[in-house]
Amino acid sequence: MDTTQNQRIMQTNEHTIAIGVDVAKHKHVARAVDDRGVDLAKRMVFSNSLEGFQKLQKWIQAL
């Protein structure tokens, strides 16, 4: 099914969490926001490594 942007927006609700990651060569930055765009946690910086990815996973689970 071809979903338009408006249809995707309408699917969000108070239980929706959006996680955005700014990817760089050595260090990445992640943010988590709710359906209204309010930050749910302080941004998290993690390295481009397995340990950094595991740190990101733990951060997401803590949300």
H or E segment and range at residue 14 = none
pTM across the whole model: 0.77
| C-alpha pair distances (Å), 1 with each of 7, 11, 13 | 11, 15, 21
Instruction: Using pLDDT thresholds of 50, 70 and 90, give the confidence band for residue 12.
Output: confident
| Amino acid at site 34 | D
19-37: per-residue pLDDT in tens? 999 999 999 999 999 988 9
Residues in the chain: 63
